[in-house]
Structure 1
């Protein structure tokens, strides 16, 4: 099998991301990233209106938990299928499920049907995320992979900046159903271009592995569902659901990730562990930023959203910096964790010393920069440490590590948010102190990452 669309690309010829060989695939992967990101942000913005219109507030939490839980199953299934048959079948099935789920949700007469559509959509979205990772591994030479992951970061940043405004205009002018119904029409031509490009990659079929991971994925999906529903519950029920879900995830995750991940074994397990720490730190911190700015500093929701945009832009900046050839390697994740730790330290001190918005904004910009430097470079390093016949499994492990660690971090953040006391800066200092400790732990892990050329224990 060739590892790129142009087999000669690693032998003197230096193609660009938008050169003739890669232009169509690069633009299509960027577009599908934008569509998936826009759908997630737009639906989150409009969900209160949707639940009210369908008289389904009782299923509000399930409308979020369903697709997240289903995505875990989609990730595991796509990794299993990609190892045996390459990324093309996994991507096709994922795209069909994603589009079908959106059509079901967009035409739903009741909230129950909408939740069902969201579950099908989540299944497809999880499969797409893993298939795209394997596509990058097999369609692009190693020299272009940092640029591809930077492009993906841009695909998420763009909707985060304009998504809420565009979704609001669509809901006002056309109605909320078109947030679901418009995307499949745009998805079809984009997916078709990707599928055509993948015909140029030989499949090199392998025997199917045991589907045991799919069983663990089903159990993990159930635990993720409990965690998300618990985060939207109250009282004693919240604690039972969250504690049960978290305990279940901690039991299941070691069986779904590379052996030795939680013991920080050298090689791929340590890279996955750092990716988990990076994601948990960022998204747990992100949950507190709007509350801190609105409740403690009196900013409007618009201004608080501007602060999140600063983080998103600096994330893209970090991802774009990491694509420079001279900077690639294990130094980038270390630099990312340094920037993230510094940013969180500034936010932490702002609650104890400065009591000003400016340090918070500056600190969050540093956190976003660190996320951009670390997140994309860890994807590149993971590819470098993965044999070709295990790219599907590793891609699934990487996406599952993100999804499960973020679910756990947000559940802990949800508990903290539910017990925050307005007017007490020490509460927020404790919250950001916790995420600062996570970042420092990630800094220690990053200091001992493997070299890209050494696969180590897996």
Structure 2
């Protein structure tokens, strides 16, 4: 499906119907995001994003110290890739339930598993146990943003969505400012275990604020379908879930192949896992995604390249600074902090520019900045001053911030009523696949280097080179995105 640019209609051609439609749209956006009838939804979603943001910023900052305590550098990457592989399941299951059972059930299950994972992670006695806890967190964290996107699609008018995504990015400001430093303070004063455990109360607060709002949104569109339509939908959902399981198994097999197993086993796992994952992706993503078909399919693919390029490096910035170059953990924390701030600032910038220059131009700017930031981080690994890591990751944060939201706005604008969950699941799936592949392949490189006795600074050089390749690939692919945000589907 190709999405053509939407051009403004000349005033001379606007009839009574068009005028009535414009008036209805103006009424819908009156009062902005924080109008009384949508204020609770906005606040609830922002709190939920803040919960996930604290977890992401805090765990990334303390992982070098966790590794020193538990050992198992070979499993360092699995702490992140296991999280994101599990999030693939959470994204698709939540997206399907959102379209059939409403938003409350998948949201509460996601929060519950997320909190259990925090408890398991906080009590981990070994790196494998920590990975298990992160897998539980991942399933919950996958469900949470998928439900958030679906709620935006149902409860926020199309003209307000760019600002809503900017507000959600702003929810990273406080975690970005205090998350890494607070995590390091807690780790030094008490233990890294409390960094996991102190997040549990945030789960309760987020649930209390958000569940009533989601429940008030009522049944999903299409809940009154006849028996044949429900049966067809269930069949499609079961097929999709099987494909997601195959995708996770395929990617997981490829990751295991790169984690230092015997060569024969690695070859078998790779030859089985890669085709399995590719075939599953063909069935799960919009038709034409892997071919970069212009419009929405290419937009979904570009989201995967964006998260691949950023998170393949982001997960290993603290390791590169602390273990690779002998820098302070505070420099690593500062790099993560400024990245969150520039991501947020760029997200607000795109909200003001998207109608003027369109999503394609914004993504080209974003990928250029991301490539520049990752390239600078590669230079740090090769010997540039360690303090440049803060500058490098500020540039990278700006890059992903300017490119990230326009992709979601484009895809959601193309979703028909009642299909917001599936649309959000598609882009979130590409999001998580990109992160899982980037972090997982990076972890495989770390494991390979550990097995061969490479110095950490040498190993992370290859990781950042991989991330740079992803950013440059995304820059080329972004030319297939729509020039303008499509008209809202009906």
* TM norm structure 1: 0.80
Deviation of 1:390 (Å): 2.1
Q: Matches of 1:15 and 1:92 in 2, distance apart?
A: 30
Q: Which has the bigger relative contact order, CA under 8 A and spacing at least 6?
A: 2
**Preserved CA contact (<8 Å) 1:328 1:377:** no
**Preserved CA contact (<8 Å) 1:347 1:359:** yes
Q: Return closer, same or farther for 1:34/1:245 CA change in 2, 3 Å cut-off.
A: farther
Residue number in structure 1 paired with 2:178: 162
Residue number in structure 1 paired with 2:370: 340
Residue number in structure 2 paired with 1:223: 250
Residue number in structure 2 paired with 1:439: 471
Q: Matches of 1:414 and 1:111 in 2, distance apart?
A: 14
Deviation of 1:402 (Å): 1.5
**Preserved CA contact (<8 Å) 1:339 1:366:** yes
Q: Return closer, same or farther for 1:282/1:32 CA change in 2, 3 Å cut-off.
A: same
Residue of 317, 329, 335 corresponding to 1:307: 335
Q: Secondary structure at the match of 2:351?
A: coil
Residue number in structure 2 paired with 1:253: 281
Residue number in structure 2 paired with 1:452: 485
Residue number in structure 1 paired with 2:307: 279
**Preserved CA contact (<8 Å) 1:272 1:401:** yes
**Preserved CA contact (<8 Å) 2:62 2:183:** yes
1:22 paired with 2:38, answer yes
Residue number in structure 2 paired with 1:389: 418
Q: Matches of 1:312 and 1:178 in 2, distance apart?
A: 23
Deviates more, 1:244-253 or 1:43-52: 43-52
Q: Matches of 2:194 and 2:481 in 1, distance apart?
A: 46
Q: Secondary structure at the match of 1:266?
A: coil
Deviates more, 1:77-86 or 1:239-248: 239-248
1:406 paired with 2:435, answer yes
Q: Matches of 1:360 and 1:286 in 2, distance apart?
A: 11
Q: Matches of 2:76 and 2:456 in 1, distance apart?
A: 30
Deviation of 1:319 (Å): 1.0
Residue number in structure 2 paired with 1:36: 52
Q: Give the count of matched residue pairs.
A: 448
Deviation of 1:186 (Å): 2.8
1:75 paired with 2:91, answer yes
Q: Matches of 1:341 and 1:320 in 2, distance apart?
A: 21
Deviates more, 1:260-269 or 1:87-96: 87-96
Give the RMSD, CA atoms, in angstroms: 4.1
The equivalences for 1:126-165 within 5 A come to 126-165=142-181
Residue number in structure 2 paired with 1:266: 294
What are the ranges of 5 or more consecutive residues in structure 1 without an aligned counterpart? 1-6
Q: Matches of 2:71 and 2:323 in 1, distance apart?
A: 30
Residue of 352, 356, 360 corresponding to 1:324: 352
Q: Return closer, same or farther for 1:224/1:199 CA change in 2, 3 Å cut-off.
A: same
Q: Matches of 2:253 and 2:432 in 1, distance apart?
A: 14
Residue number in structure 2 paired with 1:4: none
**Preserved CA contact (<8 Å) 1:62 1:229:** no
Q: Matches of 2:371 and 2:333 in 1, distance apart?
A: 22
Q: Return closer, same or farther for 1:102/1:247 CA change in 2, 3 Å cut-off.
A: same
Q: Matches of 1:244 and 1:272 in 2, distance apart?
A: 25
Q: Matches of 2:431 and 2:28 in 1, distance apart?
A: 36
**Preserved CA contact (<8 Å) 1:230 1:237:** no
Q: Matches of 1:118 and 1:351 in 2, distance apart?
A: 28
Deviation of 1:178 (Å): 4.5
* TM norm structure 2: 0.76
**Preserved CA contact (<8 Å) 1:157 1:312:** yes
Q: Return closer, same or farther for 1:239/1:229 CA change in 2, 3 Å cut-off.
A: closer
Residue number in structure 2 paired with 1:186: 202
**Preserved CA contact (<8 Å) 2:162 2:406:** yes
Q: Secondary structure at the match of 2:289?
A: coil
Deviation of 1:434 (Å): 4.9
Q: Secondary structure at the match of 1:389?
A: coil
Deviates more, 1:293-302 or 1:318-327: 293-302
**Preserved CA contact (<8 Å) 1:80 1:392:** yes
Q: Matches of 1:162 and 1:360 in 2, distance apart?
A: 18
Q: Secondary structure at the match of 2:480?
A: coil
Q: Return closer, same or farther for 1:454/1:209 CA change in 2, 3 Å cut-off.
A: farther
Residue number in structure 2 paired with 1:3: none
Q: Return closer, same or farther for 1:313/1:243 CA change in 2, 3 Å cut-off.
A: farther
Q: Deviations along 1:211-256, whole A, 9 cap, x unmatched?
A: 1111111122223444555565466489556675445423322222
**Preserved CA contact (<8 Å) 2:377 2:464:** yes
**Preserved CA contact (<8 Å) 2:80 2:439:** no
Q: Secondary structure at the match of 1:18?
A: coil
